[in-house]
Amino acid sequence: MGGSVRVSRSRAIASPTRCKGKILWRLLLVGLVVLFGVIILGRVLAQNPVFTIDCASVNSSNSPGNSDSGYPSVSGDGRYVSFFSYASDLVSNDTNGRSDIFVRDRQTGQTSRISVDSSGNQANGDSIYSSITPDGRFVAFESSASNLVLGDTNGKQDILVHDRQTGQTTRVSVSSGGVQGNNSSEFPSMSSDGRFVVFASWASNLVPLDTNAKKDTFVHDRQTGQTSRVSVDSGGVEGNNNSYYASAISGDGNFVAFVSAASNLVAGDTNAVQDVFLHDRQTGQTSRVSVSTGGIQAGGESYDIAFSNDGRYVTFSSMAANLVPADTNGKQDVFVRDLQTAQTTRVSLSSDGIEGNGHSYAMSISDDGRHVAFYSVATNLVPGDTNNWNDVFAFDRQTGQLVRASTSSSGVEGTRQSLVTTGKAISGDGRFVVFESFASNLIPGDVNGGWDVFAARNVLAPDPPPPPPPPPPPSPSPSPSPTSPPPPISSPSILRFSPTTGGNSGTALLAVRGADFQTGATAKLVGNGVEIPAGAATTISSYNFSAYFDLTGKEAGSYKLVVTNPDGGQAVSPPDFVIVQGGKPQIWVDFVGPVKFRQPNPPRPFQYTIIVGNRGNSDAYGVPVWMILPKGTIFSPLYQAEPPSQPEGVEPIDFSSIPATVEVEDKLIVPLFLPIVPSGAVIALPCFLNASESTMIGQKFDIIVTAKPPLVTFSDAGALGRCCGEKTLKDGKIDELECGGAIANLALGFVPGRDCLREMLKTLDKLTLKAALVEIGRIQKGKMPGPMTLPSTLVSVVKLAAVCAGDVIPQAKLIATVT
């Protein structure tokens, strides 16, 4: 890590004691200067408030916790503090023996437990790192518990959000289809309204095409359920190395800052160290933040990021010595990058501008970017720092003043180290700094010998001015009869849409993301002197809009997407939709679920999810999906296909002809069918599987998917009559394509890939096909209500039909071990 020094945070588990009591007050004298052994009283900042410090890791009776607490996060006004604790006496009925997440209301004195399910039941695993929204309503946290939400079977650490107003707990480290992560997630942070949650994860199934086997940074939209990866370059290419540590998100959720060792996220990244990056979720642009004012890349590792609420300032720590002039201490320092002016400044300085003689770490920044809190082992940032431990400091970027926050009310420095949590340590208004400390002398009676959470008043942040008095009521005067003003015209906006390209050989379904869409809105593509109106549009919500466009024969080029509300409000897309020549669907498939397929008694279902996507530039119609399971497995779909109406010219599909399941030898074939997979779409099909008692260890769960429209369909009666007639069998005149197709159509319900099927059937000798026809002649034609068992002579024909799903067959396998 480039010679960086990281602080060990080992914790001693304390015995239950009553150690901490009242809140103490003192007046902070600023400017004490020690000169030739004489203490000279300097100027007193008369406008600064009184310094206070209180303990937050206490129960509702102000009794302290009986074990370690840490990783605090503070609300915008300093009222609420979330933290984790191993203590069992902060709330009643805490019997799980695990670390839990708590919130302390410093105004009412109430302490509540957050790491519970939606019914208030305690967790069966540890919960550690938390993040609280400015209003204190939502708390995101990481937990290894498996009982906080239904269906948590991954055995991994997940990210959850608890709503303190409704009591609901939800999991957010999931894919857009709701599939749980297949590896651990950590370090959550939230937008101001709690809608967007950013976190880091080792999971590879949260977004499609996650193939780098690295830790990535993701954002989950709790309103739409969409999960996206942000540790990518401006073209969406994934990073070639890990994205570490806690990431940060702006108050509106548009910008995400993260740390990554990847070298392919921006051009010119040649320093071979981890850097701080910024991803704009609206434009998709990724830029590097850990650079000097002149744009020079950092010469050392960078860590620990935090965001101001307005997204203008990013603060981070770095070992680099070339980010600001006169950086000669050879230590890790704290910097602030102004994204608006492109200025980089250092803030781990004394009030006289002296750089620290020790490392400085994890920091937080106030909403307006003025106040920065961090911790440091430097001994020269304030006078009288002789404890040789990490201390917590607050720096005022407006005045250049710095104060130490981890002291007692009388200004005595802590006897042990104090630390802050990256991005969570300072209130939005800058008035309060929260930290954890192993010191025993910050408040009287601290004898538990463990880590505690404290909230200190930052004296450099003034109290807000009192609200102005209300204006006097106006004098009564006669007024004309009120008239209702006309309703304002809506102002819809388009943030982004998908896909952004489409081939002029078919249709495209555009999913639009924006704001203020109205039911009945219309859409069109405008460009090259023409307008392409959309088919029937659907307004899913005020911020989601979808519409079909028939691009067949349209001129290639760039087009603007225009959405018009019924009241006349109109939005024009910032990016262009590009029509390209030709184009075809490109179907991909994935299959996720437990890798241990247990066989309990009695059997219970396990949830799996089939994921089908189309990365091509035209829509795919008639996409068959085969799911191949061990014989005896019970398949139960958790979805219901309600496809949109298909454009003119696309042959409708008769679902009634497709059987539910088909048994072939020792396998169970589930023929699914997707009427349409739009360009750029990802479709998740959750299902339940029950293992049979005879299921063997190591069975493979295969899904075979193809997009090879149009389908080859046969009339069973006519084909079988011609193929299975007595004269045909006697003469041996068999049409392989017609007969093989008839057999497969009876078994599977549909047969795609005429050319492939013709070639494959040629590999069968006439006697085998004749024997198959004899067998199929004995099967009564009709709709099959349940599983159909095929005679052994038909198995080879059906297998060939399945293989002929297309020239290239995307396939995904999951090997589940039966235990």
Is there a single domain that holds both residue 779 and residue 695? yes
Q: How many domains does the structure of the chain reveal?
A: 3
Q: What is the pLDDT of residue 808?
A: 34
Query: What percent of the chain clears pLDDT 70, i.e. is strictly above it?
Result: 65
DSSP string for 513-540:
EEE---TT-EEEEEETTEEEE-SS-EE-
> pLDDT tens-digit profile of 726-755?
445 455 555 555 566 665 555 444 444 445
Q: What is the pLDDT of residue 338?
A: 95
Is there a single domain that holds both residue 535 and residue 667? no
Is there a single domain that holds both residue 597 and residue 570? no
Is 735 domain-assigned?
yes
544, 513 Cβ separation under 8 angstroms: yes
Is there a single domain that holds both residue 553 and residue 632? no
Say which CATH number the domain at 542 has. Answer: 2.60.40.10
Is there a single domain that holds both residue 502 and residue 632? no
Q: Which domain holds residue 784?
A: 584-640+656-819
3-state secondary structure of 138: strand
Is 277 domain-assigned?
yes
Q: What is the pLDDT of residue 19?
A: 36
630, 520 Cβ separation under 8 angstroms: no
Tokens of 347: 């803030």
Is there a single domain that holds both residue 693 and residue 602? yes
Is 798 domain-assigned?
yes
Is there a single domain that holds both residue 797 and residue 672? yes
Is 545 domain-assigned?
yes
Is 428 domain-assigned?
no
Tokens of 772: 């198959």
Is there a single domain that holds both residue 618 and residue 571? no
CA-to-CA distance for 70 and 375, rounded, in angstroms? 14
Last residue of a domain, one of 233, 261, 288: 288
Q: What is the pLDDT of residue 444?
A: 87
Is there a single domain that holds both residue 534 and residue 674? no
Is 608 domain-assigned?
yes
Q: Across the chain, which distance is largest between two alpha carbons, in Å?
A: 121
CA-to-CA distance for 350 and 347, rounded, in angstroms? 8
Give how far Cα 559 sits from Cα of 277, 322, 529, 538, Å.
32, 45, 10, 21
Is there a single domain that holds both residue 594 and residue 576? no
Q: What is the pLDDT of residue 393?
A: 97
Q: What is the pLDDT of residue 77?
A: 93
Residues of the chain with pLDDT under 70: 1-49, 467, 473-486, 536-541, 543-544, 582-583, 589-608, 621-622, 624, 626, 628, 630-632, 635-673, 675, 680-682, 684, 691-819
CA-to-CA distance for 378 and 403, rounded, in angstroms? 13
Is there a single domain that holds both residue 716 and residue 614? yes
Is 498 domain-assigned?
yes
Is 168 domain-assigned?
no
Last residue of a domain, one of 580, 601, 626: 580
Contacts with 530 (C-beta within 8 Å, 6 or more apart), sequence order = 554, 555
Last residue of a domain, one of 288, 305, 338: 288
Beta strands in 10-50 (DSSP E): 24-26, 33-35, 38-40
Q: What is the pLDDT of residue 769?
A: 58
Is there a single domain that holds both residue 680 and residue 533? no
Contacts with 334 (C-beta within 8 Å, 6 or more apart), sequence order = 315, 316, 317, 346, 347, 348, 360, 361, 363, 372, 374, 376, 395
CA-to-CA distance for 696 and 819, rounded, in angstroms? 9
Say which CATH number the domain at 692 has. Answer: 2.60.40.1510
Q: What is the pLDDT of residue 245?
A: 75
Q: What is the pLDDT of residue 639?
A: 57
